Amino acid sequence: MENKPSHFSALLFLLISLVLFSTAKCGIVTYWGQGDQGEGTLTEACNSGLYGIVVIAFLSKFGNGNRPHVNLAGHCNNVPNCHIKVGHGIKNCQNKNVKVLLSIGGADGGYGLSSADDANQLADYLWNNFLGGQSSSRPFGDAILDGIDFDIEGNRGDPENYAVLAKKLREYMDKNTWKKFYLSAAPQCPFPDHNQNPALSNVYFNFVFIQFYNNPDCQVDSNNFQRSWNKWTSTINAHKFYVGLLAAPTNTDKGYVTPETVLNKVLPFVKNSPNYGGVMLWNREMDKNSKFSAKIHDSVNK
């Protein structure tokens, strides 16, 4: 017979977890999983001491009758038991008090939600296969992630269905007593975000990683950056907001700003907001090469 923890023990564990997380430096977030093997392992990212949250990208196929699928790009090319090894990395990160979330969506991939029932089925799948539920086919083995991130881009069906998904996940998370789980979202900076506004307006999110790049009207180097930041942080009811930035210039993404700009212009402004959380960097591979996070780390966390 399985020995289940007492209600007192479960409550004590939850309180300790909340205290540890509230005192941890979670100011820099990065996305891991869409680089090649040069990006390094998940364990390596967490061992760097640079990040408070690492988001695995992406669950890029789901809904519309599709079997959910995790795409980790070059990490799983000809790598036996790749997802199980990632599961070990998740536990290693958590042992260092780094939260690990799974992002659903992304700019590419075959995903979308066709109905409220579709959304509820996905919520059940995510809870049972990645979070606090039970399944015989958990992709990351017995590793239990800390939450789910929404990165819904492009035309992905009725946005109201993502609100249904978020609500069901929030219900699962809030009913759980032995571990704290988190919801996050990575909307585009134009307000409101078409795909995610219903979810963000009606469901409580712990973290919002606003993408202030690839959006000329409101990215950091535009005249509307401050106005956009103020609109997001004063309108959406979320715990913490993060400035989403590119960790390096690329040929495909636009809106890169230097670490010096972040230190001298961005942080002095956004840190005035009571719900400021820190900086989100896309992505770990770029950051590993540019050392962007290392250059801003101390200032972000002050």
**∠ Cα 290 101 131 (to 5°):** 160
- Is residue 285 among the annotated active site residues? no
How many Å apart are CA 150 and CA 184, to the nearest integer?
6
The residue annotated as part of the active site, out of 2, 39, 153, 171, is 153
Handedness of CA 181, 142, 26, 281 (dihedral sign): negative
| 163 phi-psi bin (left φ>0, alpha ψ -120 to 50, beta other) | alpha
Beta carbons of 173 and 181 less than 8 angstroms apart: yes
CA dihedral 113, 115, 116, 117 (to 10 degrees): -100
Output phi, psi for 13, to 5 deg. Answer: -65, -40
How many Å apart are CA 194 and CA 72, to the nearest integer?
26
Q: Which of 104, 56, 61 is nearest to 82 (CA)?
A: 56
Tokens representing 76 are 């799983």
Q: 37, exposed or middle or buried, with CB in 10 Å at 0-12, 13-18, 19+?
A: middle
The set of catalytic residues is 153
